[in-house]
Amino acid sequence: MLPSLDELLGSAHVVSLKLFDRFRGLDNREALLLEGPEGWTEFSPFVEYDDAEAANWLRAAIDFGWQSTPHALRTSIPVNATVPAVPAGKVAEVLARFPGCRTAKVKVASPDQALADDVARVAEVRRVLGPEGRIRIDANGLWNVDEAEHAIHALSAFDLEYVEQPCMSVPELAEIRQRTTYLSVPIAADESVRKSGDPLAVARAGAADILVIKAQPLGGIRAALSIIGQTGLPVVVSSALDTSIGLSMGAHLAASVPGLYFDCGLGTASLLAEDVTDNPLLPVAGAIPVRRVVPDAALLTQHAASPERRDWWLARLARSHALLAAE
């Protein structure tokens, strides 16, 4: 059942957390936290998302805070390091925040950078990780097909585990997957799953080898598990730059996935210079535990968003709730 808006508002806290490095154009990450009968949960769609998309994130928050989690198949989740589009000289500093992680996801295709910057960054990640480390790159759909082919060719020299969302559309993904067969670099889909009205289209089109699955954008743990079961493709459970509370949702999803073969993108608390708990879900020995997270009251106060931003988020919560109530 959908909790009332008053029930949601009664426990709502809006926070703004500083990042160590700019990520997705952000220096601070805002999130709205809620406490349900099953524990704390998170509603944090990025600010540019419209209400229809945000409503799915609220569905996920309610699922995690008001419903019990599925049976866990594991108690800890191996995670990857995440390297923002930083200069190559900062790579070692970033990777040091992810102790024990054997895999790194490297952001590429930043609009304010050139391919040479991506090559330098990935080369430095390979140097720091050594020959046995695993490197995956994420373009967030910012290349066209020709750019993607050129970039994948240039970056494949560093022994890539896979390329995440090199192009935005499903037809483009299918084409680049065909074009780069000779390079033997798998293609993973993220935005084409979580931002699509038909998240199964990627699998039907044979446009990806791997799916990147995020609990919040897909409407919660149960909805994500349903998509995973229907596609039959291997998955990487990832996050959307969540607080440790949102990461807990992702960890519970990853714990419920049969056959979890890849390190997951759930170590991103290491990108936050601040968090809402004094016991954050930071990687230890390359993994995070599967557990609920309770925020610290003092940190909720310390990192509270401005009154204007709080009002903006509460209004967004109300609009998203109205959309769910109308279904």
Nearest to 205 by CA among 233, 246, 226: 233
Q: What tens digit of pLDDT does each residue of 176-223 get?
A: 999 999 999 999 999 889 887 788 899 999 999 999 999 999 999 999
**Are residue 98 and residue 197 in the same domain, yes or no?**
yes
Average pLDDT of the chain to the nearest whole number:
97
- Does residue 214 have an active-site annotation? yes
**Are residue 173 and residue 315 in the same domain, yes or no?**
no
Q: What tens digit of pLDDT does each residue of 278-327 get?
A: 999 999 999 999 999 999 999 999 999 999 999 999 999 999 999 999 99
**Are residue 210 and residue 317 in the same domain, yes or no?**
no
**Are residue 60 and residue 86 in the same domain, yes or no?**
no
Q: 270 CB contacts (<8 Å, ≥6 apart)?
A: 81, 82, 97, 98, 282, 283
Sign of CA dihedral 309, 312, 317, 320: negative
State which residues form the domain around 258.
Answer: 76-289
| Spatial contact of 225 and 70, defined as CB atoms under 8 Å apart | yes
What is residue 181's DSSP assignment? G
**Are residue 239 and residue 319 in the same domain, yes or no?**
no
Q: Is 51 annotated as a binding residue?
A: no
**Are residue 205 and residue 64 in the same domain, yes or no?**
no
- Does residue 107 have an active-site annotation? yes
Q: No. of H helices and E strands in the chain?
A: 12, 12
pLDDT at 23: 87
User: Among the options 18, 90, 105, 107, which is catalytic?
Assistant: 107
**Are residue 193 and residue 254 in the same domain, yes or no?**
yes
**Are residue 302 and residue 233 in the same domain, yes or no?**
no
**Are residue 221 and residue 83 in the same domain, yes or no?**
yes
Identify the CATH number of the domain in which residue 13 sits: 3.30.390.10
User: How many folded domains does the chain comprise?
Assistant: 2
Q: What tens digit of pLDDT does each residue of 25-79 get?
A: 899 999 999 999 999 999 999 999 999 999 999 999 999 999 999 999 999 999 9
User: Among the options 18, 90, 105, 214, which is catalytic?
Assistant: 214
Q: 293 CB contacts (<8 Å, ≥6 apart)?
A: 40, 244, 245, 247, 248, 276, 277, 279, 280, 281
| Spatial contact of 128 and 92, defined as CB atoms under 8 Å apart | yes
Q: 187 CB contacts (<8 Å, ≥6 apart)?
A: 162, 163, 166, 173, 176, 177, 180, 207, 208, 209, 210
Q: Is 164 annotated as a binding residue?
A: yes
**Are residue 113 and residue 208 in the same domain, yes or no?**
yes
**Are residue 42 and residue 152 in the same domain, yes or no?**
no
Provide the CB-side half-sphere exposure for 125 (13 A, CA). 35
Q: 2 CB contacts (<8 Å, ≥6 apart)?
A: 62, 321, 324, 325
**Are residue 131 and residue 233 in the same domain, yes or no?**
yes
% of the chain residues with pLDDT over 70: 100
Q: Is 38 annotated as a binding residue?
A: no
